[in-house]
Structure 1
């Protein structure tokens, strides 16, 4: 979600890639809440952190403690900054309630990530209509 948000905000002005410690199939709730804001993730395929050359990045943003620890191990001795943005994964938390309540949890995550991205990288330029 964070990668898709950042790419939608900044396009090709910065290189962005995403990987996980244990990638899972794309969550349908993620696809739904991203489609609501015009971001298509239907063809997005999660990658494993081992699949990318993590040392080629200037900055790695980790969303879980497990990821922060693994990235620190993988980048030991390399000039890579690591930011840790602890987030609550609505899927992993077994969010209870109606479909709409679950979607609201994902929307909160999406909006929180967007806020953090814009705080870190600056406000995105408005796209021409």
Structure 2
């Protein structure tokens, strides 16, 4: 879960499904719904993961479509973390906060921006592999 389900959480969802899709059920959502970010898709393409069909959704969308039957909610932004903690009033799920920089804040050349997204991708990949491998 992140702020808009546009960059960090779709990247995390795509990687978790890629590496653990048969053993773990994964869905991403945002505190609010945004638009999928092209740079996020591009850095996933670089490692052979296709997330182009991702449709951003809010946590309310997810609750309406599937219910909130999760054992774990991983929040990646302060706004999402507060929302996740609020959800635990009615949902019996553990919450982990993985503070993750928002790469959309980086200014500069295309390559500088891509590097910021790669850093987020690589950091999320390490955490996902460490957390879900056990």
Shared fold (TM-score, shorter chain, > 0.5): yes
1:10 pairs with 2:24: no
Greater than 2 Å deviation, 4+ residue runs: none
Matches within 5 A, 1:38-117: 38-53=48-63, 55-91=68-104, 93=105, 95-117=106-128
Deviation (angstroms), 1:52: 1.8
Query: Partner of 2:95: helix, strand, or coil?
Result: strand
Partner of residue 119, structure 1: 130
Comparing 52-61 with 12-21, which one deviates more in the overlay?
Answer: 52-61
Tell me, in whole angstroms, the C-alpha distance in 1 between the residues paired with 2:54 and 2:83: 23
The CA deviation at 1:77 is 4.4
The reply to whether residue 21 of structure 1 matches residue 31 of structure 2 is yes
> Which structure carries more helix by proportion?
2
> Given that residues 20 and 132 in structure 2 are in contact (C-alpha distance below 8 angstroms), is that contact kept between their aligned partners in structure 1?
no
Structure whose CA Rg is larger:
1
1:44-80 per-residue CA deviation (whole Å, 9 max, x = no partner) reads: 1111111123641000000011111111112214321
Q: Which runs of no fewer than 5 residues in structure 1 stay unpaired?
A: 124-129
Residue in 2 that maps onto 1:127: none
Indicate conservation of the 8 Å contact 1:55/1:75, yes or no: no
SS of 1:14's partner is coil
TM-score of the two chains, using structure 1 as the length reference: 0.88
Report the TM-score when normalising by structure 2.
Answer: 0.85
Shift of 1:5: 0.6
How many residues align? The count is: 121
CA distance in 1, matches of 2:101, 2:91: 29
Distance 2:51 2:78 in 1: 25
